[in-house]
Amino acid sequence: MMGLRVLVVDDSATARAVLTEILRQDSDIESVEAAPDAYVARDKIVKFRPDVICLDVEMPRMDGITFLRKIMQYMPTPVIMVSSLTTQGARTTLDALEAGAVDFIPKMHSNLYEGRSAIEEELLTKVKAAAKAKVRPKTTAPKPSERLEYKSFTTTQKLIAIGSSTGGTEALKEVLTKLPANSPGVLVTQHMPASFTGQFANRLNELCAMEVKEAQSGDTLGVGKVFIAPGDKHMVLRRSGARYYVEVGDGQKVSGHRPSVDVLFNSVAKVAGDNAIGVILTGMGSDGARGLLKMHETGAVTLGQDEASCVVYGMPKVAYELGAVDTQVPLEKMASKILSELSRMTT
């Protein structure tokens, strides 16, 4: 990790100064360069060969998304988008993640000097994680996922709980778009800010056969339903008689996050036991690993994304090393593995 080279691309001189100053103070980062737009950045990428690029979403002359696509096509490099916490910012950031960005840093304030303390730790953590990320060239639009078939059976209600972080938006899309409309209910915790999860749920709802929405307290989990934990809120599973429902609320961060995958998985272990499947996808850190172990101990089927297909093999690695993962599965086969396990559970 020693000797990282980072390029900051932002049309705001203030943002460039703050981000550069934060990065240069870390001993793991050898050098930092800055550029005011994509054209200057292009030349610096060729000469500087950065390990990570921090890229503004909105820039003059060439917007960040267009430039990102060019980077991923001609010189794939881990990119972290710097985005405002607005509805438009959320939509654009999701576009960036689809185009190949590893992660994003939300701009908490228009003046980064005011919001410096809020982003300092997150920036350094994400830059170091991005440096280890697997980045693949993106030269063509992805093919639509082939939707699988699930034969449902009359039995005790099953459910699927999924946790993810860095690289998770695209991983979730890969899994959820393959699940058919009659799949058991799905609960998802993805590390995202509050202003992003609603947009993310809406985007998935347009692509999936299942109905996808940002969770609200009292929502009933049933066949064909997917609930995404709201940003900055924990989501837990509850049960009343035969009815599964969700509850969202505040609370301290758990495993460094709110929403926390551990919080979701712990509640599923307690409420659903062996009627659940737990899935841990790409992400840095360890959130979800201990919760998945709880699910494993209560008889749930537990699956982890394998190292080769992860953008960041952090959360699944810790879960696997704890003994929480029954089977490691490549991302492209995760949906079919989930459905085969459901069929086995219901026969």
Catalytic residue list contains 31: no
Is the Cβ–Cβ distance between 256 and 314 less than 8 Å? no
Q: What is the DSSP letter of 76?
A: -
| Percent helix, percent strand, percent coil in the chain, to nearest 5 | 40, 25, 35
Q: Please count the residues of the chain.
A: 347
Question: What backbone phi and psi angles, to 5 degrees, belong to 225?
Answer: -115, 135
Catalytic residue among 83, 84, 164, 165: 165
Catalytic residue list contains 234: no
Catalytic residue among 191, 234, 257, 296: 191
In three-state secondary structure terms, 68 is helix
In three-state secondary structure terms, 31 is strand
What CA–CA distance (Å, rounded) separates 134 from 298? 33
Helices 64-74 and 87-99, packing angle to 10 deg: 10
Residue with tokens 């991302």: 331
Catalytic residue among 10, 103, 219, 287: 287
What CA–CA distance (Å, rounded) separates 237 from 273? 11
What CA–CA distance (Å, rounded) separates 17 from 217? 42
What CA–CA distance (Å, rounded) separates 58 from 37? 10
Torsion sign, CA atoms 325, 225, 233, 106: positive
Q: What is the CA radius of gyration of the chain?
A: 20
Is the Cβ–Cβ distance between 190 and 168 less than 8 Å? yes
Contacts 24+ apart (CB under 8 A), 206-213: 207/173, 207/176, 207/177, 208/176, 208/177, 208/179, 209/147, 209/177, 209/179, 209/180, 209/181, 210/176, 210/179, 210/180, 210/181, 210/183, 210/186, 212/176
Catalytic residue list contains 257: no
**Active site residue ranges:** 165, 191, 287
